Structure 1
């Protein structure tokens, strides 16, 4: 199987996680961010992740890929998300990209290997977050907000192994990619329990963190 991704993409991290956590093999292929033709030829739209299954057929949508690989691995469906966790995710999702997106193009990631791919990303994402430089200059303001959200999430964590305290669930699949991307933000302090969880989940799922190159 092959998994087409962008490194910075939280939806791609969802798919990458399930392969690592279920010890399933896949070849990861990073597309350039301005490559529209490849994903459109595969699934009809310009989005990732895209899974090319063993039979050669393509599958999009991150949670569909997660469900497919989880079932293929012989596991029962993943437990759903608590309403409190879903609410946290929806609130954070409103602004966390203002911290992450201006940094993602500065990390030397494979999807931004060409200047045209950086320009493409910035031009498209400005519609979502506004001016990249302006958002970058508001880092301290956004960090203050995020620190409060960290306190709230830390209180919702049942254990540092799994968010629900029992087993892998959709909570981990949805929340870890957000935490992972926030590791690219220098000066953002993770509470101890949340930090331990982030490191443990990265190790178990074989998904790298950005602490070493944080900006």
Structure 2
């Protein structure tokens, strides 16, 4: 079952990278992938952090049920889909199918949240003034 294989498959230098930021750090530090240190440190913007915390439940309701329906290899097996659902619980109602049905109710909420986010974004290229950074990830 692919969910149990996190970190066991061979990465380029056999490092275990179960976390997204580990992967970002690896890519940003290896010239094989382009300029190194291209991603600047976070600006520690609290407004973005607060928005993410506020929007997370709504985003999870919209995205998590759709992940398990996607044709990604890690979801080809029912056991893997069930493990993802078990390990990525969403707020009540926690049923993924029920949340899919609630999409028309959730969309106005996320649209309102996106309107709140818009003035926080510095440019089309990056969120903060200092360029592409961890703020964008």
Instruction: Identify the TM-score tier after normalising by the shorter chain.
Output: 0.7 to 0.9
**Aligned mates of 1:70, 1:78 — CA distance in 2:** 10
Residue 62 of structure 1 corresponds to 20
**Aligned mates of 1:159, 1:116 — CA distance in 2:** 42
What is the alpha-carbon root mean square deviation over aligned residues?
Answer: 2.6
Residue 41 of structure 2 corresponds to 79
- Residues 52 and 76 of structure 1, relative CA distance in 2, 3 Å threshold: same
TM-score (norm 2): 0.76
* Runs of 5+ consecutive residues of structure 1 not aligned to the other structure: 1-30, 43-49, 174-215
Per the TM alignment, residue 77 of structure 1 is displaced from its structure 2 partner at its CA by 6.3
Per the TM alignment, residue 113 of structure 1 is displaced from its structure 2 partner at its CA by 1.2
Matched, 1:121 2:84: yes
Moved over 6 A (4+): none
The residue correspondences of 1:171-186 to structure 2 (distance < 5 A) are 171-173=135-137
Residue 39 of structure 1 corresponds to 6
The residue correspondences of 1:21-170 to structure 2 (distance < 5 A) are 32=2, 35-36=3-4, 38-39=5-6, 42=8, 52-54=11-13, 56-73=14-31, 74-75=36-37, 78-80=40-42, 81-125=44-88, 127-129=89-91, 130-170=94-134
TM-score (norm 1): 0.52
Per the TM alignment, residue 137 of structure 1 is displaced from its structure 2 partner at its CA by 2.0
**Aligned mates of 1:85, 1:76 — CA distance in 2:** 21
- Residues 77 and 110 of structure 1, relative CA distance in 2, 3 Å threshold: closer
